Structure 1
Amino acid sequence: MTTLGSILLGSSDPRRLRDWYRAAFGAEPNEDGFITYGGVAVLIDGRDDVAATTAEPGRVILNFHVEDARAVTAHLDEIGVDWLVPLEDRGPGLFATLADPDGNYVQVIQMSEEYQVSRGHKQPRSLHNAAPFSGFAVDDVPAAKAFYSEVLGLRVTEHSGMLNLHIDSPGAVLAPTSGSSAVLVYPKEKHTPAEFTVLNFPVADIDAAVDELVRRGVTFLRYEGLPADEKGILRSGGPQIAWFTDPAGNVLSVLQT
């Protein structure tokens, strides 16, 4: 069986191009320099037989298939890309085209669920195959939206008066160490905060996470009988953990195993 395992991008400035792809689409090169996206690896290598910019950028186009094209294009806007075609709905899905620093064409694609179902790539949504998600109430949706988007840096979408917190948001202060998920936040009259932690953020470096949240105005909780340090981090008896609240009083935590 023959498989397409990798694509080589020749460049007169491979370091610049490699850094751009890392910033634009994530993933780190392995020890051999390959950056793997899904099942295909991209090798960006220096060559002396190529110009500084590609002469025929439409000849080879890298297509990045994503789950949330709007989030990806918003991230790309933040790093200042040049859009050839802004994100648009073409029927079977969302498409956007840009150029990398060498002028190569790159597409961001999110195929619609209907298209994927029609091609047999995905089962229709149902209670039997929908991914589970958690949710909790708040007493002030605008205040919650501001806190989770501006303080924690999450991408927050709003629909029918409720919020979706996208935990795997690019650039979030508390980016997940693995996996991804979404959390539903909904309004409730006479809301009473739960007496337990409703949302935990695993982090690779709890000290760095706590320092950044304090810089953003977060105050960490202290519980009687729990020997937290000066930062509010409990470092014994389990994973290192520190608790804080959102504007509605819901208890959140950062923890490092």
Structure 2
Amino acid sequence: MSKVQSLRAFATISYWADDVEAAKTWYAELLGIVPYFERSGPDGRLAYAEFRLGDYQQELGIIDRRFAPVQAAAGPGGVIMYWHVDDIHAMLQKLKEMGAAEYEPLIPRGDSGFVTASVVDPFGNVLGIMYNPHYADVWEQQQKGVIAHDHR
């Protein structure tokens, strides 16, 4: 078995919106940052906005639904990508206050501290949040220099 990992890290997640400008504004409020990159479509309307966020500057892209793959589901569903959050209760409350609908309630995953929840944003995308003690531990160890981040 090779020691080279084929899936190294999540790089970009794409969310779809009929109104990219409204989605950009909503996510900017949620994240407390503005997109670092934007692109207009052929009609001059905003077609893409991208945020870099989190400890590793992962990318969240909001794309005009007109450019979604033909097979894309019309409603929420499919894979849930969970963002680590330090206070899952507070984040879930904030998301609901901002108009997101609960998709999956808070669920403790075993007895080791993992907790997940998910919402549907006002644009129809599933947004997963998670308190992940493994993530928190690895991040803390990296900050202390105990373990190095592998940049192969």
TM-score by shorter chain over 0.5: yes
- Which runs of structure 2 are paired with 1:18-97 in the superposition (5 Å)? 18-32=24-38, 33-38=49-54, 39-50=57-68, 54-55=73-74, 57-91=76-110, 92=112, 93-97=114-118
**Distance in 2 separating the partners of 1:122 and 1:13:** 35
- Please state how far the C-alpha of 1:66 moved relative to its aligned partner: 0.7
Amino acid at match of 1:36: R
Higher percent of residues as helix:
2
Q: Deviations over 1:186-227 (max 9, x none)?
A: xxxxxxxxxxxxxxxxxxxxxxxxxxxxxxxxxxxxxxxxxx
Deviation at 1:76, TM superposition (A): 1.9
Deviations 1:74-127 (A, max 9, x none): 222322321022223222412111101222211110023xxx29xx72679xxx
Asked if structure 2 preserves the Cα contact closer than 8 Å seen for 1:20 and 1:100, the reply is no
2:120 pairs with 99, 115, 122, which one? 99
Asked if the contact 1:34–1:43 (Cα under 8 Å) also holds between the matched residues in 2, the reply is yes
The aligned length equals 120
**Post-superposition offset of 1:10:** 3.2
- TM superposition shift of 1:22: 2.1
Deviation digits for residues 12-69 of structure 1, max 9, x if unmatched? 2111222222233332101433211223111212242459x94253224332111111
Question: Structure 2: how far apart are the matches of 1:3 and 1:94?
Answer: 21
Percent identical pairs in the alignment equals: 25
Deviations along 1:104-158, one digit per CA (max 9) or x if unpaired, are 211110023xxx29xx72679xxxx8xxxxxxxxxxxxxxxxxxxxxxxxxxxxx
Which consecutive unaligned segments of at least 5 residues does structure 2 have? 1-5, 39-48, 145-152
1:61 alignment partner, SS class: coil
2:22 is paired with a residue whose SS is: helix
Give, in whole Å, the separation in 2 of the partners of 1:31 and 1:37.
13
TM-score, normalised by the number of residues in structure 1: 0.39
2:147 maps to none
Structure 1: distance between partners of 2:13 and 2:121: 15
Alignment of 1:121 onto 2:142:
no
Q: Report 1 or 2 for greater relative contact order, CA contacts < 8 Å, sequence distance ≥ 6.
A: 2
Q: Which residue of 2 aligns with 1:176?
A: none
> Which residue number corresponds to residue 110 of structure 1?
131
Output the CA distance in 2 between the equivalents of 1:28 and 1:122: 24
Distance (whole Å) between structure 1 residues aligned to residue 140 and residue 16 of structure 2: 39
- Residue type matched to 1:28 in 2? V
Instruction: Give distance in 2, aligned partners of 1:69 and 1:88.
Output: 11
